[in-house]
Structure 1
Amino acid sequence: MLFLARMDVSFPAHLTAEQVADFQVREKAYSAQLQESGKMQGIWRIVGEYANHSIYDVESNDELHEILSGFPMYAHMKIKVTPLAKHPNSIR
């Protein structure tokens, strides 16, 4: 099952620069693991925002939820998920 996820990150003002940097390091490692496993098919920055679009290929809604809730920044994210289906005009 393919899903498009938009993730918007908003850190609370009380976090220090060091805490934010720690989140970013852990987030990068988790994202790399998902990409290497094939669960995350791609990730794209949204220009001008602290946000991204990413594509997930998973077996179920529950698996996707488990993956998304595993992100170190999860508590500071607003996530919108869109299920995807093959378009009849796709040549792939």
Structure 2
Amino acid sequence: MLFHVRMDVAIPRDLDPDERTELVTTEKARALQLQREGTWVHLWRVVGQYSNISIFDVPDATAMHDLLWSLPLFPFMTVQVTALTEHPSALSANPAP
């Protein structure tokens, strides 16, 4: 099941710099792991913001929820999740005869 996810990150400015570095480092490692596994299918930065737009491929909404909660930066995120399904006018839904 595909999900479109927007993540806006707001790490507190007064967070200890070492803790911030550790969080960002572990977040990047987790994101790379999920991409290599094929779960985090697309990852785009939103220009000028500490935000991203991503596409995830997971079994269901519960798996999506659990994945988001597993992200090290999740406590500092505002997240918008939209479940996706194929559009009936998509080329993939209408193969050539």
Do Structure 1 and Structure 2 share a fold, with TM-score over 0.5? Answer: yes
RMSD of the alignment, in Å? 1.0
Deviation, structure 1 residue 13? 2.5
Structure 1: which amino acid aligns with 2:10? S
Deviation, structure 1 residue 16? 2.3
Q: Tell me, which stretches of 5 or more residues in structure 1 are unaligned?
A: none
Aligned positions, number: 92
Question: Which residue of the partner structure matches residue 14 of structure 1?
Answer: 14
Calculate the TM-score normalised by the size of structure 1.
Answer: 0.93
Distance 1:25 1:70 in 2: 14
Output one character per residue of 1:27-66: Cα deviation in whole Å (capped at 9) or x when no partner. 0100011111111101000000000011011111111111
Structure 2: which amino acid aligns with 1:35? Q
Structure 1 runs (4+) deviating above 4 angstroms are none
Question: Which residue of the partner structure matches residue 95 of structure 2?
Answer: none
Question: Which residue of the partner structure matches residue 83 of structure 1?
Answer: 83
Deviation, structure 1 residue 91? 2.2
Identity between Structure 1 and Structure 2 (%): 38
Larger radius of gyration, structure 1 or 2? 2
Distance 2:29 2:13 in 1: 24
Distance 1:89 1:33 in 2: 34
Q: How does 1:1-92 map to 2 (within 5 A)?
A: 1-92=1-92
Distance 1:53 1:90 in 2: 21
Deviation, structure 1 residue 10? 0.3
Distance 1:54 1:5 in 2: 5
Distance 1:27 1:66 in 2: 15
Distance 1:47 1:88 in 2: 31
